[in-house]
Amino acid sequence: MYAAPHRVLLRSASCKASVRPCQIRLAGSNPNVSDEVLVRLALKHGAYHFVLDAVLDFGLAYVWQQWLLMLEDEDAAPPMLAGVDVERKLANIERGLRSVGL
């Protein structure tokens, strides 16, 4: 299906929503991968649960920062429609966090 192994952001079942103490790993990849790579991978994948996990584990400001950096980089930027979708998800997550006082 893929020429290279497909890497996916995973959270362990015992993981609680927190900033980084949670056991985050990339399937079939280096467990010492940087936060930047984990967050950008979640954003590039675009699935809501990956984006939400990134926000819960690294903070909304950091995830938005990584997103903006991705948009500046022509090689990392997603297609326009995918970008609109990720921004909508981030905005919805932000509204949800605000509604519960976080």
> What does each C-alpha distance from 73 to 13, 20, 23, 45, 77 come to in angstroms?
34, 26, 29, 16, 6
Q: Domain extents for the chain?
A: 9-99
Question: pLDDT class for 32, splitting at 50, 70, 90?
Answer: confident
Residue range 11-23, pLDDT digits in tens? 443 344 444 434 3
pTM: 0.70
Q: What is the pLDDT of residue 3?
A: 34
The DSSP symbol for 79 reads P
What average pLDDT does the chain have? 76
Q: What is the pLDDT of residue 29?
A: 60
